Amino acid sequence: MTDWKMSLFSWRTFCCLVLVLHSAHGDVSFSLPEEMKAGSVIGNFAKELGLQPGALSSRKARIDADGGGKRHCDLNAGSGELLVAGRIDREELCGDRASCVVKQEVVLENPLELQRIHLRIQDVNDNAPVFNDHLIGLEIRESASKGARFVIEEAHDADIGQNSVQQYILQNNNHFVVAVSENTIELVLDKELDREQKEEMNLLLTAFDGGSPPKSGTVVIHVTVLDANDNAPVFSRAVYEASLPENSAPGTIVIQVRATDADEGVNGDVTYDFGHVTEDVKKIFSIDRKLGTIAVIGTVDYESSTSFELRVKAKDGLGLSSYAKVIISITDVNDNIPVISIKSLTDPVAEDAPLGTEVGIIHVQDRDSEQNGEVHCSIQQDVPFKLVPSIKNYYSLVTSGQLDRELVSHYNITIGASDQGSPPLSSSKSLGLSVADVNDNPPVFQRESYSAYVSENNKAGSALCRVSARDPDWRQNGTVIYSLLAGAEVNGAPASSYVAVDGDTGEVRAVGSLDYEDLRSFRVHVVARDKGSPPLSSNVSVSVWIRDVNDNSPQILYPAPDGDSSVTELVPKAAQGGSLVSKVIAVDADSGQNARLSYHIVKSTDPGLFTVGLHSGEIRTRRDISESDGMRQNLMVAVKDNGQPPLSATCSVYFLLSDNLSELPPELKDVSSQEREKNSKVTFYLLVALVSVSTFFLTFMVAVLAVSFCRRRKPRLLLDGALAVPGAYLPPNYADVDGTATLRSAYNYDAYLTTGSRTSDFNFVRSYDDDTLPADRTLPKNPVSFGDGLCDSFDPLEVGTNIRSVVDHHSCCTEQ
Ligand SMILES: *[C@@H]1O[C@H](CO)[C@@H](O)[C@H](O)[C@H]1NC(C)=O
Ligand SMILES: *[C@@H]1O[C@H](CO)[C@@H](O)[C@H](O)[C@H]1NC(C)=O
Ligand SMILES: *[C@@H]1O[C@H](CO)[C@@H](O)[C@H](O)[C@H]1NC(C)=O
């Protein structure tokens, strides 16, 4: 290699080395010869990075050609090998640069990462030296002396280094040798010419490169021997330098070269032309043959080429020529807008992505240099995303706020980029990003609680109410199914035996017929659960209120409703008008108006003798009893509730108008004797009891009468305000009913329970009717004074004839 070539290569090598060192930091590089077959293995990328080969496919590794450039290699994600993708021609990629490095990028996800691959393309001797022309014409005077030099244009080899032109060999001849010097190749006259001897000759010049095997190219030098002497043109400078802004309009003059020739006339006419220049250069520049002006004829693009080196030739009329070099430096103009490309995007992004989650990687490229290529990227909108600069020209798109799909399910993000040129250029790019649902909303009931009203005796399966819950999540995460809260109980039974919930519609239905008298209200919880995994749920209470229906007839507790005439009231003949002689006690299991009872006499032996209190059921004499009244009186009393329609029951009350038990009619005695026959032993005791009670009764009556006479008042006798009802008559569920029930509204119960026999249980009923019981004559609630003494030895049920114990306790006590 000649000295000038050395210096040229070392300069280029230096530039390229600087480039390589600059970009090689932290990157993976491979060397490969050009022109490898597609599919050939370049190297193992995974191994270079220290990654498991499987990691590449799981991290979606892929080659990304830089800035829309050509892709030169493929990545086998399975093996981690890098393969040749297509023809790699070093000369096409790098021209005559000493070092040819092609950059490729590999994008890895999770985490997002960018790896640069540097492919160092090694030169292969695939190009032969080529001369610009096939024939070079030289006109040389016969007077030219030995040692005269004639410049020949050199051959060009697209390969570099050792593979470029290394040697010139001139075919053996008598007159010339070839000399390769710093700048040029010259024919040197070795032996003087003689036109008379030989007028013209052809010399074959062969250029060899240094490859193995070497390649060669030839040119024929046609020498014509002339008569007269001449001077070759001389350029004013060996190297011309000019600078040209890119995009200069066609016709722009770049520089003018000048050569002078000392000769006159035709011999001094200098014409200009390009020496060896590439076809590309010929498309961009032209040279004026006469003036030597170099003008722009094509597109000058700084980004394609930052400088041009042209060889220019000046030739005089006789064909003597000389060469000079023109270096045109192109200056950058801000003519490229930044190009934003999305290298990777995680779409959709989960709405629960934590702050700072990387969702994409953005690359921005501006092909201009320096300030003109310095780009700033930003998001102009108010979105919960931001750009974080990462590797040069790369930005991570990360979340900068909490996402909520239920508020915003899709983002249209516009990324703007602008460079620092003046004026600056900018561009923008929109990208759509969806937010994926996460089951983060439990179903919410539309009401805090639900109430359902249903009349009792409803049909099984009738609808009670409908609950509804909303869940704003997406698809199954927002699909609500309803169910009863597991394990809930109503009245000790599973809630599911009362109500059922339709899973899809939320309709709450009664499983069976409901009975107000059994259950007035109950509460169940309905759960709304979405179909997410894990599911979210919430629950709501549903109160079911059962409405009463008049479905229970009044129930007569006293007297026995079956018309048993053995229950006979004993009315003293001395009883005066208005005396309380008996009382019909009835209850109704319904409530409210359905249980509001009224009493009516339907039939009576003597219509004028008794009245019944409309609501109290108290039977009183209407007038004083006279001797003419029959001894036996019957009443049929109807008890009616106030429902719609009303229900009723009737009972008969038998009265015996007598002052003396001995006046008992024979049938009553018969009943006693039948009883006696059944159980003579018991009868004996009963008789004893009966006699003692009768005695007591009579004694008591006398006392009462005496008192009433003493007070000179009309005595209000008998059941004045107090009645004893055997506890066994009361249905068990009446004891705990609340204020709406019949008994409670009409009476207060005081239950006196003595230990021992069931038959001694009494419920004492006190009338609320003001007219029968003045406030100052209420019954003391002291059981001892009454129950202990009386009840143990007295059982109206077993006596057979119900002898009312006629007690005005108050007056009794005051008398004693
Ligand atoms: C996103 O926004 C850009 C600019 O604002 C608009 O041109 C584009 O149509 C929008 N895309 C969608 C899907 O809304
Ligand atoms: C529901 O939410 C879960 C996370 O909770 C998510 O993985 C799933 O994709 C969501 N389903 C739909 C249909 O969005
Ligand atoms: C029902 O909801 C309440 C709050 O509304 C909650 O505290 C309770 O844990 C829920 N019960 C069930 C079994 O989900």
pLDDT one-digit tens code per residue, 210-223: 888 899 999 999 98
- Name 583's bridge partners: 618
Question: Could you tell me if 791 and 760 are in contact, meaning their C-beta atoms sit under 8 angstroms apart?
Answer: yes
Report how far residue 664's alpha carbon sits from residue 686's, in angstroms, rounded to the nearest whole number: 16
Residue 156, token pair as written in the block: 């060009």
Q: Does residue 57 line the site of ligand 1, with CB under 6 A?
A: no
Hey, what amino acid is at 787? G
Q: Which of 134, 147, 139 is nearest to 175 (CA)?
A: 147
238 neighbors 212 (Cβ within 8 angstroms): no
The reply to whether ligand 3 has any atom less than 6 angstroms from the CB of 483 is no
Q: Record the tokens describing residue 91, joined without a space.
A: 């000369």
> Is the minimum distance from the CB of 430 to ligand 1 under 6 angstroms?
yes
Does residue 412's CB lie within 6 angstroms of at least one atom of ligand 1?
Answer: yes
Between residues 68 and 318, the one the model is more confident about: 318
441 lines ligand 2 (CB under 6 A): no
Specify the 3-state DSSP secondary structure of 53: helix
Reading across the β-sheet that carries 113-122, which strands appear in turn? 28-33, 113-122, 101-108, 62-65
Question: Which stretch of DSSP H or E encloses residue 667?
Answer: helix 666-678
Distance between Cα 384 and ligand 2 center (Å): 21
Structure tokens at 402: 């909490």
- pLDDT bucket at 558, cuts 50 / 70 / 90: confident
Probe ligand 1: pick from 347, 379, 380, 412, max atoms within 8 Å of CB? 412
- Give the model's confidence band at 693: pLDDT under 50 very low, under 70 low, under 90 confident, else very high: low
User: Dihedral (C-alpha) 504, 505, 506, 511: value to the nearest 10 degrees?
Assistant: -90
Q: Is the CB of 475 under 6 A from ligand 2?
A: yes
Domains parsed from the chain with CATH numbers: 3-122 (2.60.40.60), 135-226 (2.60.40.60), 234-331 (2.60.40.60), 339-436 (2.60.40.60), 444-547 (2.60.40.60), 555-815 (2.60.40.60)
Quote the mean pLDDT of the chain: 79
Give Cα separations from 226 to 601, 628, 812 (angstroms): 169, 191, 179
Residues contacting 142, CB < 8 A, separation 6+ = 192, 193, 194, 195, 196, 225, 226, 227
Q: Is 539 in the pocket of ligand 3 (CB under 6 A)?
A: yes
Question: How far is residue 518's CA from residue 541's CA, in Å, rounded to a whole number?
Answer: 21
Residue indicated by tokens 């003689």: 194
Angle at 652 between CA 649 and CA 656, to 5 degrees: 160
CA 43 vs CA 28, 72, 82, 437, 466: distances in Å: 10, 14, 5, 43, 70
Model confidence band, residue 540 (pLDDT cutoffs 50, 70, 90): very high
Structure tokens at 300: 């000058």
> Is pLDDT of 403 > 90?
yes
DSSP string of 539-605, one letter each residue? EEEEEEEEEP-S----EEEES-TT--TT-EEEE-TTPPTT-EEEE-EEE-SS-GGGG--EEEEEEES
pTM score, whole prediction: 0.59
* Ligand 1 atom 7 nearest Cα: 430
Q: How do the residues of the chain divide into helix, strand and coil, expressed in percent and rounded to 5?
A: 20, 35, 45
Rounded to an integer, the average pLDDT of 57-62 is 84
> In this predicted structure, what is the pLDDT of residue 687?
66
- Which of the four pLDDT bands, split at 50, 70 and 90, describes residue 503? very high
pLDDT band with cut points at 50, 70 and 90 for residue 69:
low
The pair of three-digit structure tokens given for residue 70, joined into one six-digit string: 């050509």
The C-alpha atoms of residue 602 and residue 91 are separated, in whole angstroms, by 130
pLDDT for 66: 53
**Atom 2 in ligand 3: residue holding the nearest Cα:** 539
pLDDT for 321 equals 84
